Amino acid sequence: NAGVTQTPKFQVLKTGQSMTLQCAQDMNHNSMYWYRQDPGMGLRLIYYSASEGTTDKGEVPNGYNVSRLNKREFSLRLESAAPSQTSVYFCASSVITGRSQPQHFGDGTRLSIL
């Protein structure tokens, strides 16, 4: 019963470095999401994928790319990390995309950009 698994849990990068955050779910969910959470702010949607092979921008997509590798996996890539991207990143999944469908979250990746 792993649910949504995110790797790594912690990472420190230097400005300009690149990195891919990994997310996998074992619940056979169609929809997957990437959020960031900053101090004093709620979770903000970066990108989401309603189904395998499709991705859409969320509220704060700039500086990020995503890849829905298959139904299970949804990765988030920072091509050239900036200090403003220091945050806690959460991946989530749901059966389908829909406001009535609860999203199941991973435990987060804490990312620091120096």
Partner 1 sequence: DQQVKQNSPSLSVQEGRISILNCDYTNSMFDYFLWYKKYPAEGPTFLISISSIKDKNEDGRFTVFLNKSAKHLSLHIVPSQPGDSAVYFCAAAYNTDKLIFGTGTRLQVFP
Binder to partner 1 among 46, 66, 108, 111 (CB under 8 A)? 108
Regarding 44 and contact with partner 1 (CB under 8 A), the answer is yes
- Tell me the H-state helices in 8-76: none
β 109-113/10-13 pair status: parallel
Print the binding letters for residues 7-36 with partner 1: x by CB under 8 A, - otherwise: ------------------------------
**Type of residue at 75:** S
- Select from 13-21, 67-75, 78-86, 90-98 the region that touches partner 1 (CB under 8 A): 90-98
